[in-house]
Structure 1
Amino acid sequence: MNVNGTPTRTIWPAREGGAVWIIDQTRLPHEFVTQRLNDLGAVAHAIRAMLVRGAPLIGATAAYGVALGMAEDPSDEGLARACQILLATRPTAVNLRWAIEAMAESLRALPPDQRALAAWAKAGAICDEDVALNEAIGDHGLGIIKDLARAKGVEKGGEGRINILTHCNAGWLATVDWGTALAPLYKAHDAGLPIHVWVDETRPRNQGASLTAWELNSHGVPHTVIADNTGGHLMQHGLVDMVIVGTDRTTATGDVCNKIGTYLKALAAFDNAVPFYVALPGPTIDWTVNDGLREIPIEQRDAAEVTRVWGRTAAGALEWVTITPTGSPAANYAFDVTPARLISGLITERGVCAASAAGLAGLYPERAPAPVPAGSAEGKGAAATADGAL
């Protein structure tokens, strides 16, 4: 995507090697600041402190973290240590584990003196793959938006618009490029479709108001920032044609773990018959988990993210401001789980499928668990609940 007319990714290697550059997302939207990460410790801090965030970007950054770790200590012990440090940074997003395991698997078979160079190449390949996956998600999601436009009678250059609501930031800032949930929106806008995006502010870190709005504004996509509690009202009055969000972890059965508040949007969409889609690349699927509500660890972050907000004052200074009474405790659950039954479809790089075990297995047959024998109790239950690909 473009920043001030310059094609930009969210992470890129330093020209001279031995370091990577990132966009410090904690400074947006008021300042565009880049940070150079020179070692494993700097990468771990960037992930933990959310200088980088979004499941795909966390994974890509971790891959470069392993590469920088190999420059420091390419031994078996060094590889294990780098993986352990990075795995501990964020517990919920599955792409982190996926990228680290992919790096470790590719490096273990190599002698230590070859690992640093190989790790650098592998991390770059993971980043390039993420860009390709997300652009493909955009292409498949574009088809859904075109269908909505036809059903609504909205055409290029005509009257009316397609109203799409999104939550948190699942744009190119959450990935290496393109984004997941926003990729179809960019494709639709670039194709000339008259889309308008309702942008949830997404408390407590305001990723919608700070990051999604900044992205859409930079790309020229019409949008309006709304308070998190506004979406249900808009749906009741027919002002939302579609909801599309991203995900930090999707179970093998189609449950989706995403930024806190996603579940409430899904409930409102279900009650008002508004299509609710989730966009995700294959690496975000956790094939080891079936019950998202019980099996996915929910990160609880610093209460200060709830009690304070960061922004520009009337005088132009950038400051943190406390918004709660001194002594009032705050809870900060970072994610919630949306059950598969509330999801209209999953938009992946391989196509669109039902949010179900059968739907995902249809797109990823090589990853899906082996089928349970039809005569068993488990098989009967699976047959009764399975949905096919859309």
Structure 2
Amino acid sequence: MKQIYLDHAATSVLHPQALEAMMPYFSTVFGNPSSIHQFGRQAKQALIEARESIASLLNANSNEVLFTSGGTEANNLALIGFARANREKGTHIITSEIEHHAVLHTLEELAKEGFSITKLPVNENGQISFAQLKNALTEETILVSIMFANNEVGTVQPIKEIGELLKGHQAAFHSDAVQAAGLYELNTDELAVDLMTIASHKLNGPKGIGCLFVREGIELEPLLHGGEQERKRRAGTENVAGAVGFAHAFNQAYAEREQRRQSYKLYRTMFFETMERRGVAVLENGESGERLDHILNVCFPGASTEALLMKLDLQGIAASGGSACTAGTLQPSHVIQAMYGKDSHRVKEAIRFSFGMTNSKEELAYAFEQIADCVLSEQGKKAFIE
């Protein structure tokens, strides 16, 4: 049985070149980058080069790239670190209803500390209203956190326009760019972001490493206390091997971004052509507007997410529901609920296919036929029961 991975938005395979670049830092170049002897200096140099490499992709200074353990920590540091450090300016924060839980749950914790959180609604395409954002701004607003592109449905938000709007306001602008990194140009000056989150494992880098872009002059209160690493903003011995792999993967993805996007567009076309030819009823969640090409979120009327995922897994096809599984229980997608309402049939039928570096046209042609078989079986069963 073929094994076909269509869950690259959850995590991606490590790029061979990134793995090769990392190998010396697991063995011969093992020093602590904070040590002043030659072993430490070798590790320090690798860390410097990785930081400079990533900074160049962001049109940033190297001292504006702060390494973290991944996207979750970067989001926590951006939100909690900034809010606590700038509380005297105000206590109001604006976000959207469809942010990643690493943002939403972090803001819930800040609400317990007395911060006021405004969650902007989205339309059926998963997009916020620019006018509603503008109206939500107050003199107390100190931070706006809007993701670049949604991890479940792929909707791209008007980040550049938001950045322009906030130039005349005291509020700092944070964007979770985890899903967009490697596929979009993330020029921090053009986007006018003050804080931006990126995770290595979503762009064919290693797990356990990510970064937070922190514009010069932005003050953050550290979450971790100990040494003076990362300019005293994030204590702890740096993950040198991870940083090296992250930088290599990011550069590779950036260089190949147009080629990859064209491939993903082809796969999307193939999918819908196959479903139409096979007579499969399918609806795309958030079908209009700009979106990430590698994320395809759909629902098959009459086929529940849980039943379909199990059938696909038995056929060797890995996909995911509208939301990640928590403690082994499939949770209804907060994103799909925000877009269509909690009573919509789409909430129980949403399924996400996400493409990546290892997919090919040939294997996807096979996979789409298998998906059609599974869906027709479920839809037929539903029709029989009714």
> Which has the bigger relative contact order, CA under 8 A and spacing at least 6?
2
**TM-score of the pair, normalised by structure 1:** 0.33
**TM-score of the pair, normalised by structure 2:** 0.33
